[in-house]
Structure 1
Amino acid sequence: MAQNVEAWTLLALALVVIIIRIYVRWSLVGPKGFQLDDYLMPLAGIVFVLETVAAYLVGANYEGLTNSYISPSERQAIVPNSKEWNNRVAGSKIQVLGWSLYVAILWLVKFALAVFYSRLTTGLQNLPQRVRIAYVILGITWLATQLSLLLSCQPFHAFWQINPDPGDVCQPAKSPVYVLVVVLLNIVTDLYLLSIPLPLLWQVKISLKQKIPLMGLFSGAAFVITASIIRAVMISVAGPEGAVAGSKWACRETFVSIVVSNLPIIQPLIRRGFKKIGLSQLFSSSGKESNGRSYPLSGRGRQTLASHADRITKKGKHAQGLTQTQVSAWGSDEHILTSPEPTSKEITVVSETIVQTEQWNRDRAPQPTRVSSPNQWDARGTTHAM
């Protein structure tokens, strides 16, 4: 009973997090501004419901029985079409379905994160390319996991064969192919996804006390990796309770995956909550700045920067201090590294480059943008030492 309560509680909390995410995105961009990840995450929530139901059935309806953990003599003693026989057959089928649902949720969340990162890195060179590589890696690894789940045991009905012993690879509750392939590919993909935002966050020129909570928001995959390893170990050492233990840890890992992947999206509410309890300094840029280096702007990023600077100039303000991270944030609908209404105290500095836009004159050709840096560039691209 306690295990069932835990599973349904985790499901409810995960769905609440998804609903909060939808609320935040609705408030920021409206339903017309929803992107692919805004649909993938609710879909992952729906599949989580199915996974939880499957995990419940294994323990509640089929007594946690599968075609695993049976000695040869016990297999021969099981009467075909008896209650135990039927429970073991049905439990094994649920295990195959549960593994497929488990993989579907994890990879839906990974794809949603990759889409989110594609918006976060808009306008920066190299990083968007790494996101595109992530799509390829996720597609290949998802296909590999599905093929391993479906083709590792042939004929397919041997997955729920009772007698004779179908072999370990045809026992879904403890199949080494299932455990090793899914766990390894899950860890590899999570590590690659971590490699996209963390270098950017670590190298931006902001105070360490602001950098740490931001990195924490994006480091949730580390908890998913830990849960995945624990699940694999529990399946291997749980013995006859392996089916129930595996289902329980699948729900836990799924819950962790959904929650931590949505933290960067719902961080405006987190920021607001910290502000109410007097901890807003965790998200402020006050304090000593750490050294950082810049990510070069792409052509799209430079165009966005020039467009934004021109809008500010037309309002009578100087376009100073616009940084590459701000171009990325303003070029999309995300406000992770900068506040939604940037001020001089909230701007994150990625490089020492300062952009200045001269006043537009309709009677003459526009003047080239001047960049103040250790070297001065003229309109022809010639370098003059300062």
Structure 2
Amino acid sequence: MANADTEAFTLLALGLLFIIVRVYVRWSQVGSPLNFAVDDYLMPLAGLVFTGETVAAHLVRSQFDGLTNSYMTDEQRAAVHPTSREYYNRVWGSKIQVIGWSLYAMILWLIKFCVAIYYSRLTTGLNHLPTRVRFAYILLGVTYLTVALTIILGCQPMRKNWQIYPNPGNICQPTNSTLSVLVVVIPNVITDLYLMSIPLPLLWAVKIPTRQKITLLGLFSSAAFIIMAGIIRAVTIMTSGPNGAVSGSQWACRETFVSIIVSNLPIIQPLIRRGAGMVGLSGLFSSRGQNSSYKFRGESVPLGSRVTQTGTGTEMGKKSRTRTRVSVSMHDRGTGHGGWGSDEEGLVGGKAGDIKVTQETIIEREVVSKGGGERNAEGFEWEDGGKRMNNMR
């Protein structure tokens, strides 16, 4: 059990370190905690809940010998005297298990809300993606209420959660309650899969180098590790026998740790990218020298592009082939505080400020000539890192 405690507190320390780094990066981006988004406050709260979860797991292992009211035959239940130390350990171990389940669900859904809020900033104005994020809020709210209420109210009266004799039934054995296991793992997997699907359209739409796209695909698909950890925890609880309380607590801490790491990776990616550049791996993140564009309604439209016509006029109503010079800019949405840049900049791998890429293309269009003059070509400008397109007349 000493090794389990060492692992749990090591994961806690690393998880809190990641949260601190995230706060530092966001502080650098927005200039002041007063400018933090909601998820910047929720993530430290998740760190506090992670601390409580780890302490609860430690108490079950070290103070109550990993004992609960589960994994006992009727004969064993009848043999445990209410004044014995074993009875005391089993009662309090079961109470801590109820608390542990509640903290476990709370931290997972806090992290999910952080991810959804981050995606809301990332997808503002991009086709139907904001609608999908708003649905994620509803999905997360409904599933969390379902999970939390099931953990608290699934066994009635609540004192049966730590009843030793007579047998309170599986539903009132918090360590291995089938109801608790399923009502947590199924919504947990469903919500993670849904959140993981939100940024994928961005990866297919944005024109970036293939290796950078693979890097981002791996970044957003890393939630699969959370899903795997959740499933392993559920299976472990149902199959571990008398060690289920300890094993389940261990996997809860592991899953929480992985959730914190995965959810904060996109935020701290600018810092990771800087470190990668120092060791010669900046190519995994940088798109310098490449044409950055976004497919809009089936067409490829450069990010931050302004189109100006350089050809000559023709007669009214005739088509002409004009040579167009396109200046591509990726705008930094940071506040100018010398930080790491915006969320969008962190994903596409540009540096803070404008990145201009020039290309030439041939566009067929109708131009109208009046008195030897010619109407200017229509220009399009993507603002806020590719979030809105304004028609400039």
TM class, shorter-length: 0.7 to 0.9
Alpha carbons of structure 1 residues 57 and 224: separation in structure 2 relative to 1, 3 Å: same
Matches within 5 A, 1:213-292: 213-285=215-287
Deviations 1:328-360 (A, max 9, x none): 967993222242234246x9x9xx999xxxxxx
CA–CA distance in structure 2, aligned partners of residues 353 and 45 of structure 1: 54
Query: Is the 8 Å Cα contact of residues 69 and 90 (structure 2) preserved in structure 1?
Result: yes
Partner of residue 366, structure 2: none
Alpha carbons of structure 1 residues 76 and 263: separation in structure 2 relative to 1, 3 Å: same
Alpha carbons of structure 1 residues 353 and 201: separation in structure 2 relative to 1, 3 Å: farther
CA–CA distance in structure 1, aligned partners of residues 392 and 6 of structure 2: 70
CA–CA distance in structure 1, aligned partners of residues 163 and 28 of structure 2: 52
Partner of residue 168, structure 2: 166
CA–CA distance in structure 2, aligned partners of residues 267 and 222 of structure 1: 19
Partner of residue 29, structure 1: 30
Alpha carbons of structure 1 residues 32 and 369: separation in structure 2 relative to 1, 3 Å: farther
The structure where strand makes up a greater share of residues is 2
Q: What is the Cα-based RMSD across aligned positions, in Å?
A: 3.2
CA–CA distance in structure 2, aligned partners of residues 62 and 210 of structure 1: 50
Q: Give the alignment partner of residue 370 of structure 1, picking from 341, 354, 379.
A: 379
Query: Is the 8 Å Cα contact of residues 143 and 187 (structure 2) preserved in structure 1?
Result: yes
CA–CA distance in structure 2, aligned partners of residues 63 and 249 of structure 1: 17
Higher Cα Rg, which structure = 2
Q: Give the alignment partner of residue 192 of structure 1, picking from 182, 185, 194.
A: 194
CA–CA distance in structure 2, aligned partners of residues 237 and 353 of structure 1: 66
Displacement of 1:370 after TM fit?
2.8
Deviations 1:124-167 (A, max 9, x none): 22111111111000000000101111121111110000000000
Indicate the SS of the match to 2:295.
coil
Displacement of 1:33 after TM fit?
1.8
Alpha carbons of structure 1 residues 353 and 208: separation in structure 2 relative to 1, 3 Å: farther
Indicate the SS of the match to 2:167.
coil
Q: Could you tell me the percent identity over the aligned residues?
A: 55
CA–CA distance in structure 1, aligned partners of residues 57 and 68 of structure 2: 13
Is there any run of 5+ residues in structure 1 with no aligned partner, and where? 298-303, 311-317, 355-365, 373-378, 382-386
Is there any run of 5+ residues in structure 2 with no aligned partner, and where? 308-324, 336-340, 364-374, 382-390
Query: Is the 8 Å Cα contact of residues 145 and 181 (structure 1) preserved in structure 2?
Result: yes
Q: Give the alignment partner of residue 348 of structure 2, picking from 321, 328, 337.
A: 337
TM-score normalised by length of structure 2: 0.80
Partner of residue 89, structure 1: 91
Alpha carbons of structure 1 residues 56 and 125: separation in structure 2 relative to 1, 3 Å: same
CA–CA distance in structure 2, aligned partners of residues 127 and 203 of structure 1: 12
Alpha carbons of structure 1 residues 148 and 271: separation in structure 2 relative to 1, 3 Å: same
Alpha carbons of structure 1 residues 270 and 236: separation in structure 2 relative to 1, 3 Å: same
Deviations 1:240-260 (A, max 9, x none): 000000000000000000011
CA–CA distance in structure 1, aligned partners of residues 392 and 246 of structure 2: 70
Partner of residue 150, structure 2: 148
Deviations 1:169-190 (A, max 9, x none): 1000000011111000000000
Q: Which amino acid aligns with 1:320?
A: S
Deviations 1:238-283 (A, max 9, x none): 0000000000000000000001100000001110111111111111
1:320 has 2:327 as partner: yes
Indicate the SS of the match to 1:153.
coil
CA–CA distance in structure 2, aligned partners of residues 290 and 20 of structure 1: 29
Alpha carbons of structure 1 residues 44 and 371: separation in structure 2 relative to 1, 3 Å: closer
Partner of residue 2, structure 1: 3
The structure where helix makes up a greater share of residues is 1
Query: Is the 8 Å Cα contact of residues 62 and 88 (structure 1) preserved in structure 2?
Result: yes
Displacement of 1:292 after TM fit?
7.3
Deviations 1:76-124 (A, max 9, x none): 0000121000100000000000000000000000001111111111222
Alpha carbons of structure 1 residues 295 and 36: separation in structure 2 relative to 1, 3 Å: farther
Q: Which amino acid aligns with 1:148?
A: T
Partner of residue 14, structure 2: 13
Alpha carbons of structure 1 residues 211 and 232: separation in structure 2 relative to 1, 3 Å: same
Q: Which amino acid aligns with 1:333?
A: S
CA–CA distance in structure 1, aligned partners of residues 270 and 356 of structure 2: 19
Alpha carbons of structure 1 residues 290 and 341: separation in structure 2 relative to 1, 3 Å: closer
Indicate the SS of the match to 2:72.
coil
